[in-house]
Amino acid sequence: MPRVDDLPRVVEEAVLSDLGARLELIAGQTSRSMADVEERWRGLGEHDVFDVAGTEEVGSLLASPARDAGFFADALRTARDALSQAETEDLAPLRKRRAELEACIPTVVAEYETAADGSMRAEAEYRSAQRTEAGVHVLETTTWARVAAHQVLQSAEEALDDLRRDVQQFEEDVEEAEDRLSSRLRGIAGGTTVHDGAGSEVRVSQDFWGFVERAYPGAPAAATTSRTLSEQLTHVLGRSTERRIEWLSKTDPRDATTWLKDHPDFLQSIAFVDAGRAARLFAEMAAASSAAEDGEWNTGPLGQLMTVAPLAVGNLNGIPTAQRNLFNQKGLSRMLAQDDLDDGTRSQLGEVQSRLRQPLDDDTMPSLLSLFPDADGSPRANLAYGDIDGATQVTTITHGLSTNLRSLPDWFSTGADLYSTLSNELDRTDHISDVALVLVMDWDSGDLPTVWGIDGPDAGAARLSETWKGIRQLNPGAQLNAAGYSLGTTMTTQAVADNPGLVSHVWLFGSAGITPQTGESLAEQIDAGRTAVSVTHADADGIAEWGRKSWLGSRHSEDPREVDGVHVFGSDGGWVPGFGSPEGEYGEATDGHNARESAGDEVVGWGAGPDGTLYPEFHRMEKTGYLDPWAESFKHLVNEMREAYDEVGGLR
């Protein structure tokens, strides 16, 4: 039944006009301030302050920054105009329609309920007259009353159906209006690339519209009473996605299938539905659905979603892992059944399916925590080991550069080795083995040309943040930890910085670097005792440092080993006390930058040709990676995860 409280809110005109006025004020102040500074600077030259040979160009040093300030002011005014356009074209009419629906809903619902009640009474009176063999007059009266009541009810039902359609159309129009405004704001540029007086680009806190780094060490990411543009767009995306899932669950299945085909990027957005709202949405749909004995939903909204859009449920953070696995495996089968699937995608999806059928050492099966096609159609997925919903400790681990599901065999083994080794160590030391692990492979780490950028890690951090929030929604008491390798350390630490105190322990291997702002946040969290950070870098790893080269344009040039308070652990080969036995055991040195064992040619000597020319002799050598089970760094990781577990877990 339609309810006024369920109608989406439309932002008030005063809010937009106030925001527009603030943007205009900032734009004006920016323009005037920079113009005043430039004028004063030039005045110094006019008064011969710069009257030194070779300083003729000093007076124009502020021309480029002043131009940038002008572009920024223009961008603010463009944003103001976008808000004004949205108000005139979209929001004012929507507010009027909402007011009309607010007035209409109680009346139509009341008339329907009255008509339904009247029809039931008329039907009862008619049946009573039939049973008691009343007189002809009474029979005629109750018959006509029954017909009339039925006609009134039919009219009320038609009015109610019309109202439902109006409400649904209103919801869709609000969503489209939000999308249009978001699109306009995302398209604004100006002042996003800043230059110094010499014309060189400089690093600023405003990288692009909607992303603002901390203005100073210790500053919050956003005010507690408001959202940044980025946070607002994420919120709007999540709400719009939530409403679309509801629509998919009850519209004509053919319409749902057509819409999904026309919007292949929709599945990427599902992770950004707020975890709490996702949990409530799933519970509501489950209450209106039923399942077969094997657990597969076959009626109601979940029955329809399992048939037409299983990944729309499987990618929701905050719902039970067993349900995510059920829906995602259904979605995986549907994807593999497509006739137009290219060989590369089919191979990657086949790897996922193969791993899901591979029991772990404790005879449990891995779970498919997420699955969706990326913007370029590449499949992305997260897999889970153990009981995420009930574990005492849950740890995420992620990869580095140039990695996708083609690398799943190696990374799946890495996750399985870590999960089983940690469980064995807990058993050996008489602990209750109650841990879970999430292999995070749902972000695009890019290829070599993008390694110095921040866009990929930033996007991955946003998605990882939602994964953590989903785990916390499901398992509020769990200790939440994270591990990252190579560029994955850049991504993971950004997510840690964006969510202070959410993650208890962090381990970084062969880091490609972190941003200065992230380093400041980590230092603050370490100092406050909210997060412990451990880092390792092998002497033989000559690759990781290239990701930190500022002269190559790296946007994440800080070495995490230099952050105040971090713990640096070994990966060059050495004794690991307490691992495997009370005395410990030796761990092998990491021979390069790889996460897993790799083969490489090494010079083992020199030979001489017939003419006496020397040539190197190579031998194929197996090289140990950071996360091989026999590596020192891997054993330290397991030890520290076990020690972290001691903070929350118990002995048998």
In eight-state DSSP terms, residue 492 is: H
Question: What was the pLDDT predicted at 38?
Answer: 76
pLDDT of the residue at 208: 40
Q: Copy the structure tokens of residue 187.
A: 């398209």
* Residue showing tokens 């950071």: 626
pLDDT score of 132: 73
The DSSP call for residue 8 is P
Nearest in space to 630 (alpha carbons), one of 587, 597, 599? 587
DSSP string, 527-573: HTTS-EEEEE--TT--SGGGGG-GGGT-S--B-GGGSTTPEE---EE
Beta bridge partners of 201: 195
According to the model, what pLDDT value does residue 378 have?
A: 92
Cα–Cα distance between 585 and 506 in angstroms, integer? 24
Residue 217's pLDDT is 40
pLDDT of residue 576: 97
Looking at residue 652, its pLDDT comes to 74
- Collect all residues with Cβ–Cβ distance below 8 Å to 477 and sequence separation of at least 6: 392, 648
* Sign of the dihedral through C-alpha 447, 449, 452, 457: negative
The stretches in the chain having pLDDT less than 50 are: 204-227, 229, 601, 603
| Cα–Cα distance, 410 to 522 (Å, whole number) | 30
pLDDT digits (tens, 9 = 90+) for 10-44: 878 877 787 888 888 888 888 888 888 777 777 76
Q: Are 393 and 434 in contact (CB under 8 A)?
A: yes
pTM, two decimal places:
0.67
The pLDDT value given to residue 15: 76
The pLDDT value recorded for residue 50 is 52
Could you tell me the sign of the dihedral formed by the alpha carbons of 201, 234, 402, 631, in that order? Answer: positive
Euclidean distance between CA atoms 646 and 640, whole angstroms: 10
CB 438 within 8 A of CB 369: yes
For the chain, how big is the Rg over CA atoms in Å? 31
Residue 214 burial (CB count, 10 A): 17
Tell me what pLDDT residue 603 has: 47
Q: Yes or no: say if 397 and 418 are a contact pair by the CB < 8 Å rule.
A: yes
Distance CA 260, CA 69 (A): 43
SS3 195: strand
Percent of the residues in the chain that have a pLDDT greater than 90, as a whole number: 54
- Reported as a single tens digit per residue, the pLDDT across 540-572 is 999 999 999 988 889 999 999 999 999 999 999
CB of 495 closer than 8 Å to CB of 468: yes
Contacts of 419-423 with C-beta under 8 Å, sequence gap 24+, read: 419/360, 419/361, 419/385, 419/386, 420/360, 420/361, 420/362, 421/629, 421/634, 421/638, 422/638, 422/641, 422/642, 423/361, 423/362
Residue 65 confidence (pLDDT) = 76
**Among 645, 238, 366, CA closest to 246:** 238
